[in-house]
C-alpha cells in the first residue's frame, strides 16, 4: 500500500525543479522547495534523535516563520503528531495543554523558555527547543549539521497527523484529533474546488497555529507547488504592496475591513488577483458589497471548523452570495433539531456533517466524543444553520454561546470561570456583541459581592488580561446588581446580548 503520510502527498506535488521558490517575502529570505525538503529532513532527524517516536506529540508555541512551517512538515515526515498552540496563550493555559497532551517534545519562543521548561519537566517532556520569530533558536542550531535525507515514516490514513485544541464550553479545552486522511482529503477538495494551479502565488498574512492559516492556506499551496509570499503578520500597507505579485489571498473579515480603510487599496493593485476568500468569522454584507465596489472582486466566503476543516464554500464559478457560506464540499450535511430529526428546507436547525474530513474524536475524551456524534456517524457541529430556497447554506447563529472574535473561538464559560475567582466578584456572565472589525467583541457583566466597594470595570479587565490570551479579554465590563434568569435559574444570555448591543 502507498504511504498515506500527508507529507508524501505534498512531496509528490512539489515541482520537479526543487530550485523553484516555495517561500519569499519582504521580511524574509527566499526558500526553495529544496530548502523545505532539506530543512524538514534535518528537523525530522532531530525530533527522532531526541526520543520522539511515531505517534508522539510535539507541542509548538512559536511566532510565524518559514522555519515553523518546516517544523510542521518535519513532524509529519517523522510520523509525529503536530500540536500548534496560539502564541497568545499564557502559562496557565500552556500548563493544561502540556499536561493533557503529554508531548514528547515542546518548541517555544526563547523568551518563554524558562517558564515552559519548568512546566515541561513536570509533565515528563523529553526535550524543549526554542524558535524565535526570525527562525533562529536551539531547534535550528541543533539540526544544522544533521543529514538532509530522511525516509518519510509510513502512516496509515487513520493515523493522527495533528491535534488542535478548541475552547471548551465547560472551560476545559478539547483536543480535536485530525488524521492524515482528514487533512489530505480536505486539502485535495479545496485545491480542486478553488482551482489552484501552477503559477499561482498565495499571499499569506494569517497566523499558522490554526486551521485557516496552516491547513487551508498552506496545504492548497503545497498541492499546486504555488509560491507563497509569506508575511509575518497582517499589515494593510504590506499587503497592498504585495498584492500585485499575488493571485490568491485568504483572510478573516477583519483583514478586509482594514484594507477598505486604506486609500491605496484599489482595483489596480488587485489586477493580478483571481481569488479572495473569507472565513473564521461572519463577513458583514456591507463589507462584501464595499469590497466588490472597490476592487471588482467578489469575496468567496466559506465555512469550516477545527474538527473538519472546510465544510461548505461559495462557488468558484457561479454566484457568490453575501451572508451565505455556499454549498457542501466533500462531505454529507444535514440540518437537524436537538433530537437529531432532520428539519425541512428553510427551517433553522443544527448542522450535522459526515465525511472524510471529519475528525477522529477528542483527545482522551471518549464520553465527549460519543456525545458529539450521532449513532449513524454524523458529527453535531453546534452551528445553527438554514438552507435557503436557492440551495445556499447560511450560518444564522451558534449554540453553546460561542463567540468568534477576530477569527478566534471564545467560549464564555472559560472566561467566566476566571472572573468568578476574582476577589470582589460574586458571579459573572460573558456574551458577544457585533463588532465592525472583530466580528464580535467579548463583553462581561459582573455582579460584585460587596467586599471591594471600589471594584471597577478596569480592575476586571486587568485581572483577566493577566490570566488569559488577549483575544479572550472583555472589551467592556458592566457592573450590575444581578443577572437576568429564567424560572429554572438559568442566566438569560439573550437578554444580556440585547443589553450589550445598546449600552
Query: In this predicted structure, which of 11-20, 397-406, 465-474 has the lowest mean pLDDT?
Result: 397-406
Per-residue pLDDT band for 169 (boundaries 50, 70, 90) equals: very low
Q: Does 149 score more than 90 pLDDT?
A: yes
User: What cell numbers appear for 31 in the block?
Assistant: 526558500
The confidence score (pLDDT) of residue 384 equals 86
Is the pLDDT at 398 greater than 70, yes or no?
A: no
Residue 485 has pLDDT above 90, yes or no: no
Is 161 or 253 the better-scoring residue by pLDDT? 161
Question: Are residues 253 and 177 located together in one domain of the fold?
Answer: no
Of 236, 227, 79, 89, the C-alpha closest to 156 is: 79
Assess if residue 245 is contained within a domain.
Answer: yes
Over residues 120-140, the mean pLDDT reads 97
Choose one of 167, 182, 197: the last residue of a domain: 182
Same domain, 174 and 296: no
> Can you give 365-431 as a three-state secondary structure string?
CHHHHHHHECCCCCEEEEEEEEECCCCCEEEEEEHHHCEEECCEEECHHHHHHHHCCCCCEEEEEEE
Residues 6+ apart with CB under 8 A from 457: 446, 476, 477, 478, 479
Does residue 400 carry a pLDDT above 70? no
Given a contact cutoff of 8 angstroms between Cβ atoms, the answer to whether 245 and 275 are in contact is: no
User: Last residue of some domain: 368, 399, 430?
Assistant: 399
- pLDDT tens for 48-61 read 999 999 999 999 99
Residues 62, 164 within the same domain:
yes
Altogether, the residues listed in the chain come to a count of: 503
Cell reading at 334: 444535514
Say yes or no to pLDDT of 101 above 80: yes
Look at residue 210 and tell me if it is in a domain.
no
**pLDDT at 254 (0 to 100):** 87
Q: Could you tell me if 136 and 260 lie in one domain?
A: no
How much is the pLDDT for 284?
Answer: 82
Q: Are residues 360 and 492 in the same domain?
A: no
Residue of 107, 93, 62 lying closest to 410 (CA atoms): 93
* Cell of residue 6, nine digits: 500527508
Question: Coil, strand or helix: which one is 442?
Answer: strand
Residues 161 and 27 in one domain: yes
Domain CATH for 33: 3.40.50.12780
Residue 163 has pLDDT above 70, yes or no: yes
Q: Which of 125-134, 169-178, 476-485 has the lowest mean pLDDT?
A: 169-178
pLDDT at 489: 61
Q: Which of 23-27, 243-247, 260-264, 419-423 has the lowest mean pLDDT?
A: 419-423
At 289-338, the pLDDT tens digits run: 999 999 999 999 999 999 999 999 999 999 999 999 999 999 999 999 98
Q: Which residues contact 311 (CB under 8 A, 6 or more apart)?
A: 303, 304, 305, 328, 329, 331, 333, 351, 353, 357, 381
**Rounded CA separation 463/459 (Å):** 6
Take residue 234 and report the three cell numbers written for it.
Answer: 497582517
- How does residue 167 score in pLDDT terms, banded at 50, 70 and 90? low
* Residues 411 and 393 placed together within one structural domain of the fold: no
Q: What is the mean pLDDT of residues 375-393?
A: 95
pLDDT interval class at 281 (50, 70, 90): confident
* Percentage of residues in the chain having pLDDT higher than 90: 83
How many domains is the chain partitioned into structurally?
3
Do 135 and 75 lie in one domain? The reply is yes
Q: Please give the residue range of the domain that contains residue 448.
A: 402-502
DSSP 8-state assignment for residue 268:
T
Distance from C-alpha of 229 to C-alpha of 24, rounded to nearest angstrom = 5
* pLDDT for 168: 53
Q: Distance from CA of residue 161 to its chain's centroid?
A: 16
Average pLDDT in the 448-457 region? 94
Least confident of 1-5, 10-14, 107-111, 245-249: 1-5
Confidence (pLDDT) at 38 = 98
Quick check: 217 pLDDT over 50? yes
| Confidence at residue 283, expressed as pLDDT on a 0 to 100 scale | 86
Q: Is the pLDDT at 64 greater than 50, yes or no?
A: yes
Does 250 share its domain with 296?
yes
Q: Which of 75-79, 156-160, 432-436 has the lowest mean pLDDT?
A: 432-436
Question: Are residues 359 and 264 both part of a single domain?
Answer: yes
pLDDT at 420: 87
**What region does 16 belong to: left with phi over 0, alpha with psi -120 to 50, or beta?**
alpha
Residue 222 domain-assigned (yes or no): no
In the predicted model, what is the mean pLDDT of residues 32-47?
98
- Give the CA distances from residue 124 to residues 75, 212, 255, 285, 431, in Å, rounded to whole numbers and listed in that order: 19, 31, 40, 50, 38
336 assigned to some structural domain: yes
pTM, full prediction: 0.86
CATH number of the domain that 453 lies in?
A: 3.30.300.30
- Do 74 and 128 share a domain, yes or no? yes
Residue 25 has a pLDDT of 98
Any domain includes 320? yes
Tell me the β-bridge partners of 427. 447
Last residue of a domain, one of 399, 424, 452: 399
Amino acid at each position: 500500500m502507498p504511504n498515506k503520510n500527508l507529507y508524501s502527498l505534498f512531496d509528490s506535488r512539489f515541482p520537479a525543479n526543487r530550485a523553484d521558490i516555495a517561500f519569499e517575502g519582504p521580511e524574509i529570505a527566499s526558500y526553495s522547495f529544496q530548502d523545505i525538503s532539506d530543512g524538514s529532513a534535518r528537523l525530522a532527524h532531530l525530533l527522532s534523535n531526541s526520543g520522539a517516536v511515531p505517534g508522539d506529540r510535539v507541542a509548538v508555541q512559536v511566532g510565524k516563520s518559514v522555519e515553523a512551517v518546516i517544523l510542521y512538515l518535519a513532524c509529519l515526515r517523522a510520523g509525529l503528531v503536530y500540536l500548534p498552540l496560539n502564541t497568545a496563550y499564557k502559562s496557565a493555559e500552556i500548563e493544561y495543554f502540556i499536561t493533557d497532551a503529554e508531548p514528547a517534545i515542546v518548541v517555544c519562543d526563547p523568551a518563554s523558555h524558562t517558564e515552559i521548561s519548568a512546566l515541561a519537566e513536570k509533565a515528563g517532556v523529553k526535550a524543549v527547543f526554542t524558535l524565535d520569530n526570525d527562525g533562529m533558536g536551539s531547534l535550528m542550531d541543533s539540526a544544522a549539521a544533521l543529514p538532509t535525507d530522511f525516509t518519510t515514516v509510513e502512516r496509515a490514513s487513520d493515523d493522527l497527523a495533528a491535534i488542535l485544541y478548541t475552547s471548551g464550553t465547560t472551560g476545559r479545552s478539547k483536543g480535536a484529533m485530525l488524521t492524515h486522511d482528514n487533512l489530505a482529503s480536505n486539502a485535495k477538495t479545496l485545491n480542486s474546488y478553488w482551482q489552484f494551479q501552477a503559477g499561482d502565488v498565495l499571499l499569506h498574512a494569517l497566523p499558522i497555529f490554526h486551521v485557516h492559516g496552516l491547513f487551508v492556506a498552506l496545504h492548497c499551496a503545497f498541492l499546486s507547488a504555488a509560491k507563497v509570499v509569506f508575511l509575518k503578520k497582517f499589515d494593510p500597507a504590506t499587503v497592498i504592496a504585495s498584492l500585485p505579485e499575488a493571485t490568491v489571498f485568504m483572510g478573516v473579515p477583519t483583514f478586509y475591513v482594514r484594507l477598505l480603510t486604506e486609500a491605496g487599496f484599489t482595483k489596480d493593485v488587485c489586477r493580478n488577483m483571481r481569488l479572495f476568500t473569507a472565513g473564521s468569522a461572519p463577513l458583514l454584507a456591507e463589507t462584501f458589497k464595499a469590497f466588490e465596489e472597490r476592487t471588482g472582486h467578489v469575496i468567496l466566503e466559506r465555512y469550516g471548523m477545527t474538527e473538519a476543516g472546510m465544510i461548505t464554500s461559495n462557488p468558484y464559478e457561479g454566484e457568490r452570495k453575501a451572508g451565505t457560506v455556499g454549498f457542501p464540499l466533500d462531505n454529507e450535511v444535514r440540518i437537524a433539531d436537538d433530537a437529531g430529526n432532520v428539519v425541512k428546507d428553510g427551517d433553522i436547525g443544527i448542522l450535522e456533517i459526515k465525511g472524510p474530513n471529519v475528525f477522529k474524536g477528542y483527545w482522551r475524551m471518549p464520553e465527549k466524543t460519543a456525545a458529539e456524534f450521532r449513532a449513524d456517524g454524523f458529527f453535531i457541529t453546534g452551528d445553527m444553520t438554514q438552507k435557503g430556497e436557492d440551495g445556499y447554506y447560511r450560518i444564522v447563529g451558534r449554540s453553546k454561546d460561542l463567540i468568534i472574535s477576530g477569527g478566534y473561538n471564545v467560549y464564555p464559560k472559560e472566561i467566566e470561570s476566571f472572573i468568578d475567582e476574582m476577589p470582589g466578584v460574586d458571579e459573572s456572565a460573558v456574551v458577544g456583541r457585533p463588532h465592525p472589525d472583530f466580528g464580535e467583541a467579548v463583553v462581561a457583566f459582573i455582579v460584585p459581592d460587596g467586599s471591594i466597594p471600589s471594584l471597577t470595570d478596569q480592575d476586571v479587565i486587568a485581572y483577566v488580561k493577566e490570566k488569559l490570551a488577549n483575544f479572550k479579554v472583555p472589551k467592556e465590563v458592566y457592573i450590575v446588581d444581578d443577572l437576568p434568569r429564567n424560572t429554572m435559574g438559568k442566566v438569560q444570555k439573550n437578554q444580556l446580548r440585547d443589553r450589550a448591543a445598546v449600552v
